[in-house]
A and B are shown apart, each in its own frame.
Chain A
Amino acid sequence: MLRLFFKHSLRYFARHKTLTALNVLGIALGVTVFIAIRIVNYSALESFKASVDIVAGKANLQVVGDGLRFDERVFRDVRAHPEVVAATPVVEEIAALADYPGEYLQIVGVDAFTNDPLRTYQLNPGRPDEGEEFDTEEAFSFSTDPAIIAISEDLAERLGLVTGENAGVLRVQTRDGVREFRPRFVYQPNEDMPGLDEQLAFMDIANAQVNFGHTGRLNRIDVLVREGADVDAVIADLRALPGLPENALVQPPDRRGSQIELMIGAFQLNLTALSLVALLVGMFLIYNTVSAAVVRRRGEIGLLRALGLSRGQVQSLFMGEALLQGLAGLALGLGLGVALAGQLLSTVSESITSLYIRLSIQELLISPSSLLAAAGLTLGAVFLAAWFPSREAARIPPVEALSLGHLRDKARHTTGRWLALAILFLAFCVGFAWISQSGAPAWLSFLSALFCLLGFAFLVPGLSLLAARWLPRPGVVARLAATQFVQSLHRNAVTIAALATALAMVVGISVMIHSFRTTVEAWLYRSVQADLFIAPAENLDIGPTKTLRPEILPLVRETPGVADYNLYRELRSQYDGRPVKVVAVGFPVAAERARLNFRETEGGRAGRDLLVEAAGQDQVVVSEAFARKFGVGAGDTLELPTPGGAVPFAVRGVYQDYSTERGIVLMDTATYQAHWRDQAHNSLAIYAEPGVSAEELRERLRPGVNALGNFLLYSNQQVRREVFNTFDQTFAVTYLLQFIGLLVGGLGIFLSLIILIGERTRELGVLRAAGASRAQLRGIVLWESGLIALTGTVAGMAAGLVLAWLLSNVINVAFFGWTIAWATPWLFLLSLPLWVMLAALASAWWPARVAGRLDIAAAVKME
């Protein structure tokens, strides 16, 4: 019997190819977005984890300097610990490739004499296709020749580098200028490490220290502790070693991976949540098509029931058909999703790099859990959407189903019930928004957004009735369209809800992005006041990791036209076990020149006075994100790990900052240097004297600065431009999600009108017989489409504005701790209805043509 049903369904699909194809496409688009985001997220995490794994090797403990390198002499003591089986020192450096703009190497300096028990990769003499035999003597050159480097096979292939004995020259930027390395070896992981960053490179530790100016310093010591040893005791012993900075961390290597997961988790969760909206819109489409199939096949249902089919079997038949389409949509969506993920990979990778941590993802990794999640969600959504209309099919009495005149399903104007549900959902929306602001898990804020969308979706029937009743109806075409619009409310309301949901997402995200951009713009204009900045050129690609040469400072001081300057140092640190940034700037200059916007100050003091007072003291100000994340405010004290031990700092104020969601502890340069014993700076801000332009100053400084290395001199306009490039790139993915959401919404209108024309064939035929022209019939369909678009736009824009408020003031605050000031993109909001109307009319054009070309004789015949 199942086989018969299956055949029956397939034949039904074959007879209704367009409807089936559109349905499958609607589902597929929803799946596409979801699976693409899942794949990209998974690839990002796996890529980072693989890099941590290969670098950490088989170590089960790591001794890490907290943002700063430490004295290598401590290595002896670590290795000498009785429970330590093996230990190896590591130096890390990121270096730009001089001949490949935007490319860099993450160089890991390893000690070939001690890392053997910990190593998880092999050095090969060249790429397999270069056909070289491994030669132990040659391998020895890895340690003796400071220019020898081992790179990944993928990088060699991508950049077309010759490796092995005849290796070419790879010019690498160092602080002291460009150095020439030779990729004599390629390394290969011992086991498959999918997603491994191809930019990872290995070099002998001593060579790396010399090449990059870190002689006598280490980033890390990888440690293998004896199996069965008391790891906590070993950690305590190592921590207490003299010579190890007090802020050094002794921890298992996987902690780094989980910290990263935690850090980018919010970003990824936001993308995933947005991707689900397309699936929600797709659900509305399924509901509509299944219920339309029920109407169209009433006679068939009656016949099957008369032949002895039970209610459950009828419902199973419809559910089975919906699930078959769901499976087809899933298969297509998975294919499209993988293709889309490939397109999104570099954008998301760059966003994560600019927002959180340097990350390079080259490989698409598809996890079985992603596929299962996509399958579960899609089929679950299809099941849920098809359940109610198929249950309705099962409940039709056979006699009623077989009788003539029942082609149309009964328009149930149960708007009161929908309205009650809408109010309930909107109440949930408010409730979850409030709860998520009161210390509950941040993900609850997404429930408030979901209930906002559902609440407005359920308001649609009432709104549609109002629209049909109150909108002017000039002429017979408009009147007929309005009456048909109301009569088909059961179908139209679902289409409008789908459109409204898609539009709500577009409006919500656009308004939020506009508000965010306006807020960031205002913040940038206030806080970036310097005329010129100097920073190592590589920082543009790899973040503020490189430092300035000390000779730059006297050069700047002595240049005529320089009124003042400020130094910037950024350090990645930890607070309360979570990654934060410690930033040092000269407070006296910042008080004078930069205009930090304080949200809160101790005792309500002026921010400027507060900075002057805090200079050189153990006093800090924290960013808004830090304050919210850790519940720290003005007047509190926070303890930070420094190389000299934990130091308590008085928090004098909370300031507005949008540079990172990690949270910043800002202190005076003198305070930082006293505690961290670090004189380095990542960049320098220069203030020109009145009458001296940034361009003039740049020309005066350029020869001296260029002679010192590869440094960039850029104006504040360039900084702002750079910030907005990052900003726009971060949100680029969301524009794509919005586009797909809208596409599904447009598809919904098309599908709905095609279904309605099918259902109204006889009425349209009667109208033609009664004298309606083709143009009038087309007009009725187009007018009705206009009503759908108008109602959908009103509901969607209202929902979108509420969603924008939730995104700005609830979700953003819960996840990132940023305050976004509302800004209305008037031009966008005013032009949107026009575009929606045009899109709706375009979607309705073909259905309108179908209506106009109706075979009148066939239409007016018996049902």
Chain B
Amino acid sequence: MYEDSPSEPAIRVEKARKHYGESATGVDALDGVSLEVPRGQFAAIMGPSGCGKSSLLHALGGLDRLTSGRIWLAGQPLHELDDNELTRLRRHQLGFVFQFFNLLPTLTVAENVRLPALLAGLPEDEAAEREASLLAEVGLDHRRAHQTHQLSGGEMQRAALARALMMNPPVVLADEPTGNLDSVASGKVMGLFQKLGQEHGTTIVMVTHSREVAAAAERLIEMLDGQIRADSRQPAAAS
């Protein structure tokens, strides 16, 4: 999956700046952020609302462009890629998990999980095989034919995680994945993040405003006013 030397980190950010609004009156959501996330690391970005954590995540996923600065993801310079290249990157190198699950209500659970493979043009049987295995891993194999509205919040997020892993991406970006879950469901989802990260060797960058949730990660990056204020390794807590 990585297109460079093994020593290259999964994510490298150099002086990332994201400015919203007019140059004089706008705000800097990101103000010179530099950061490296090694391969296979589970990192949590924490901070209060408006600190720039989601802006950083969107920039990492190529969902949004920086005003200035550079980002390499899985060895690829995001700042140099055009829209088609970014699309290919999202298909093969990235998985996303959102706060509101963002499962498509028109599709069944299995179809939702299979979606990235289908969009990438993977053969149906191969996609089906992988989807079945992922659903089993997240404990939803009995729910595969169900409509998404029939699932609980925790189940929806587990389905979203399975979808994020469908193309076996080296990096998964998660935006407040437990923000809409109760503590029990949050614990289960975090457990899955840890397990799947370890088993698949996936780099996970998670944005959260909850210290308890952030405790599940190996590394904690704290942000305030668009800047990184603290960056520390922490013993991953059992979820």
Contacts and interface: CB of A to CB of B under 8 A. Distances in A.
Interface of A: 404-405, 408, 476, 479-480, 483-484, 486-487, 762-763, 765-774, 776, 855-857, 860-863
B14 interface: no
Contacts of A856: 58, 63-64
B91 A769 contact: no
A771 B169 CA distance: 12
Contacts of A487: 105-106
B210 interface: no
Contacts of A768: 63, 87, 90
B63 A770 contact: no
A857 B65 CA distance: 10
B90 A860 contact: no
Given A404-B100, A405-B100, A769 B119 contact: no
Contact of A771 (B58, B83, B116, B175): B116
A776 B84 CA distance: 11
Contacts of B167: 771
Contact of B115 (A770, A773, A857, A860): A770
A486 B106 contact: yes
A769 B64 CA distance: 11
B68 to A, nearest CB: 17
Interface string B89-123: 01110001011101011110000000110111000
A401 B102 CA distance: 19
Contact of B100 (A773, A857, A862): A862
Nearest to B175: A860
B119 A774 contact: no
Contacts of B61: 769
Contact of A857 (B63, B91, B107, B163): B63
A408 B100 CA distance: 14
A767 B100 contact: no
B54 interface: yes
27 contacts: A483-B107, A487-B106, A762-B102, A763-B104, A763-B105, A765-B102, A767-B115, A768-B63, A768-B87, A768-B90, A769-B61, A769-B63, A769-B90, A769-B96, A769-B98, A770-B115, A770-B163, A771-B120, A772-B119, A773-B83, A773-B84, A773-B87, A855-B64, A856-B58, A857-B63, A860-B175, A861-B54
A766 B98 contact: yes
Nearest to B61: A769
Contacts of B54: 861
B126 to A, nearest CB: 14
A487 B90 CA distance: 26
A776 B98 contact: no
Nearest to A766: B102
Contacts of B100: 404-405, 862-863
Given A486-B106, A766-B98, A860-B63, A774 B87 contact: yes
Most chain A CB inside 10 Å of its own CB: which residue of B58, B63, B91, B98: B63
A288 B99 CA distance: 31
A521 B175 CA distance: 73
B234 to A, nearest CB: 28
A862 B100 CA distance: 7
A74 to B, nearest CB: 86
Contacts of A480: 106
Contact of B106 (A476, A483, A765): A483
A770 B105 contact: no
Contacts of B120: 771
Nearest to A476: B118
Contacts of A861: 54
A856 B90 CA distance: 12
A631 B135 CA distance: 78
Contacts of A762: 102
B98 A860 contact: yes
Contacts of A405: 100
B119 A776 contact: yes
A157 B167 CA distance: 82
A862 B99 contact: yes
B231 to A, nearest CB: 24
